[in-house]
Amino acid sequence: MAEKDITLTVNGTDHELRVESRKLLVHAIREDLDLTGTHIGCDTGNCGACTVYKDGEAVKSCLLFAVQADGSEITTVEGMEDQPEAGMGNSDLHPIQEGFHEMHGLQCGYCTPGMIMAGKALLEENDDPTEHEIRENISGNLCRCTGYQNIVKSIEYAADVLNDREPPESPVEHEGASMETAPDGGVETDGGCTGPDLTREYPGGDQE
């Protein structure tokens, strides 16, 4: 199988990789760079779990071969805490990560890295989007748990922080919990969260 040497700058670090021509970018990120915060849900461009921020736009990394990304600059969810906006809210996290924590924007968390990266791309372009624009922006990202409502609120929370507005109060009680970035770039708490009824069913999982 033909192999090619490529260079990727990921989360500010340059990497030289030798990859098979057929290797998908998402596999290079996860397997060669061990950045497993970028998830794989379908491998066919349908779910958005593999979304990364590449050269200024959100891309589904299962739709690109790694060799097509040669020379590009990529941010994954693991790099969000190192972005200039990190720490603007009430934690060291990026406002989007903090928004997902505060507004309960995730349940199982599988879609979350992709949602966060799609949200970053939107806010880079338009730091004060309408609800409609947020919903449009994440329309390529599927979530089977949340019903989307709180994902939208999480991105709105980040927009409030970026625009120096007081974000809404969290509907979740964080009893003695602290926020930290998990090893895969998601948000980890030290427990103590009580919030909405997680057994609630969302009919069909369609966007509300």
CB of 163 to ligand FES, least distance (A): 26
- The two three-digit tokens of residue 41, written as one number: 């849900």
User: Which one of the spans 34-42, 69-77, 131-139, 175-183 is the region binding ligand FES (CB under 6 A)?
Assistant: 34-42
User: Between 3 and 31, whose beta carbon lies closer to ligand FES?
Assistant: 31
143 binds ligand FES (CB under 6 A): yes
User: Between 80 and 143, whose beta carbon lies closer to ligand FES?
Assistant: 143
* Dihedral (CA of 105, 34, 20, 75) sign: positive
User: Between 94 and 104, whose beta carbon lies closer to ligand FES?
Assistant: 104
**How far apart are the C-alpha atoms of 11 and 33, rounded to whole Å?**
11
User: Between 36 and 88, whose beta carbon lies closer to ligand FES?
Assistant: 36
**How far apart are the C-alpha atoms of 208 and 205, rounded to whole Å?**
9
CB of 45 to ligand FES, least distance (A): 5
**How far apart are the C-alpha atoms of 167 and 184, rounded to whole Å?**
26
**How far apart are the C-alpha atoms of 31 and 57, rounded to whole Å?**
23
CB of 47 to ligand FES, least distance (A): 3
79 binds ligand FES (CB under 6 A): no
User: Which one of the spans 11-19, 37-45, 67-75, 172-180 is the region binding ligand FES (CB under 6 A)?
Assistant: 37-45
Which residues, including other chains, have CB under 8 Å from residue 126's CB and lie 6 or more apart? Answer: 133
Beta-sheet strand order (sheet of 3-10): 13-20, 3-10, 73-75, 51-54, 57-60
User: Between 30 and 94, whose beta carbon lies closer to ligand FES?
Assistant: 30
145 binds ligand FES (CB under 6 A): yes
